[in-house]
Amino acid sequence: MASSETPDNPAPSTSPEAPTAADRGSTAAALEAARREKLAKLGELGVDPWGHRFDNVQSMAELRAEAEGMDPADQEGPTVRVAGRILLLRNAGRLVFLTLADRSGRIQVMLGKKQVGPEVWPVVGCLDLGDIVGVDGRLGYSNSGEITVFASSLTFLTKSIETPPDKYHGLVDAELRQRMRYLDLIHGDGVLERFTARIRIIEAVRRTLTDRRYLEVEGPTLHTIAGGAAARPFATHHNALDMPIVMRIALELHLKRLLVGGMERVFELGRVYRNEGISTRHNPEFTMLEAYEAYGNYETMMDLTEAIILNAAEAAGTPTQHAWMGKEIDLSAPFRRARYDDLLAEVTGCDPADPASVAAAAATREIETAGRHPDVIKSELFEATVEEKLINPTFVIDYPAGVCPLTKRKRDNPAIAERFELYVCGMELANAYTELNDPDLQEELFRTQLAGLDDDESMARMDHDFIKALRHGMPPAGGLGIGIDRLVMLLTGASSIRDVILFPIQRPQAE
Partner RNA sequence: GGGGCCGUAGCUCAGCGGUAGAGCAAGGGACUUUUAAUCCUUUGGUCCAGGGUUCGAAUCCCUGCGGCCCCA
Of residues 107 and 266, the one with the C-beta less far from RNA: 107
Ramachandran class of 29: left when φ > 0, alpha when ψ lies in -120 to 50, beta otherwise: alpha
Of residues 178 and 449, the one with the C-beta less far from RNA: 178
Nearest distance in Å: CB 384, RNA = 6
Nearest distance in Å: CB 446, RNA = 28
- How many other C-beta atoms are found inside a 10 Å radius of the C-beta of residue 158? 15
Pick out residues in 265-304 that bind RNA (CB under 7 A). 277, 279-280
Q: Which residues contact 335 (CB under 8 A, 6 or more apart)?
A: 302, 305, 306, 392, 393, 394, 395, 422
| Residue 110 binds RNA (CB under 7 A) | yes
Q: Which residues contact 365 (CB under 8 A, 6 or more apart)?
A: 381, 384, 385
Mark 364-393 with x for binding to RNA (rule: CB under 7 A) and - for no binding. Answer: --------------------x---------
Please identify, among the stretches 12-20, 27-35, 241-249, 483-491, the one whose residues bind RNA according to the rule CB under 7 A. Answer: 27-35
| Residue 72 binds RNA (CB under 7 A) | no
User: Which helix or strand (DSSP H or E) is residue 321 part of?
Assistant: strand 321-324
Please identify, among the stretches 104-112, 188-196, 354-362, 417-425, the one whose residues bind RNA according to the rule CB under 7 A. Answer: 104-112
Nearest distance in Å: CB 277, RNA = 5
| Residue 73 binds RNA (CB under 7 A) | no
| Residue 413 binds RNA (CB under 7 A) | no
Alpha carbon of 67 to those of 88, 111, 265: distances in Å?
21, 19, 48
Question: Which of 145, 262, 319, 371 contacts RNA by CB under 7 A?
Answer: 145
Q: Which residues contact 193 (CB under 8 A, 6 or more apart)?
A: none
How far apart are alpha carbons 38 and 130 in whole angstroms?
13
Longest CA–CA span in the chain (Å) reads 90
Please identify, among the stretches 175-183, 205-213, 294-302, 313-321, the one whose residues bind RNA according to the rule CB under 7 A. Answer: 175-183
How far apart are alpha carbons 182 and 154 in whole angstroms?
25
- The answer to whether 436 touches 407, Cβ cutoff 8 Å, is yes
Question: Which of 72, 74, 78, 90 contacts RNA by CB under 7 A?
Answer: 90
Of residues 229 and 309, the one with the C-beta less far from RNA: 229
User: Which helix or strand (DSSP H or E) is residue 75 part of?
Assistant: none
Of residues 89 and 269, the one with the C-beta less far from RNA: 89
Show the CA angle centred on residue 339, arms to residues 334 and 340, nearest 5°.
Answer: 125
Please identify, among the stretches 162-170, 209-217, 348-356, 447-455, the one whose residues bind RNA according to the rule CB under 7 A. Answer: 162-170
How far apart are alpha carbons 505 and 511 in whole angstroms?
18
Of residues 168 and 182, the one with the C-beta less far from RNA: 168
Of residues 112 and 233, the one with the C-beta less far from RNA: 112
Please identify, among the stretches 160-168, 200-208, 390-398, 449-457, the one whose residues bind RNA according to the rule CB under 7 A. Answer: 160-168
Of residues 62 and 146, the one with the C-beta less far from RNA: 146
Closest C-alpha among 249, 226, 245 to residue 236: 245
Question: Which of 6, 14, 79, 142 contacts RNA by CB under 7 A?
Answer: 142
- The answer to whether 221 touches 228, Cβ cutoff 8 Å, is no
Q: Which residues contact 220 (CB under 8 A, 6 or more apart)?
A: 248, 254
| Residue 118 binds RNA (CB under 7 A) | no
**HSE-up of residue 87 (Cα within 13 Å, Cβ side):** 20
Q: Which residues contact 6 (CB under 8 A, 6 or more apart)?
A: 40, 43
Of residues 150 and 433, the one with the C-beta less far from RNA: 150
| Residue 119 binds RNA (CB under 7 A) | no
Closest C-alpha among 492, 195, 498 to residue 323: 492
Of residues 69 and 118, the one with the C-beta less far from RNA: 118
| Residue 182 binds RNA (CB under 7 A) | no
CA 356 remoteness from chain centre: 43
Nearest distance in Å: CB 124, RNA = 11
Please identify, among the stretches 140-148, 211-219, 345-353, 465-473, the one whose residues bind RNA according to the rule CB under 7 A. Answer: 140-148
Phi, psi of 47 (to 5 degrees): -105, 130
Mark 444-473 with x for binding to RNA (rule: CB under 7 A) and - for no binding. Answer: ------------------------------
Please identify, among the stretches 172-180, 219-227, 236-244, 437-445, the one whose residues bind RNA according to the rule CB under 7 A. Answer: 172-180
Nearest distance in Å: CB 342, RNA = 23
- The answer to whether 69 touches 58, Cβ cutoff 8 Å, is no
Count, residues near RNA per rule CB under 7 A: 60
Question: Which of 65, 174, 215, 235 contacts RNA by CB under 7 A?
Answer: 174
* Residues contributing to the site for RNA (CB under 7 A): 22, 25-28, 30-31, 34, 38, 88-95, 97, 99, 108, 110, 112-115, 128-129, 142-146, 148, 150, 163-176, 178, 277, 279-280, 384, 495-496, 498, 506-507, 509-510
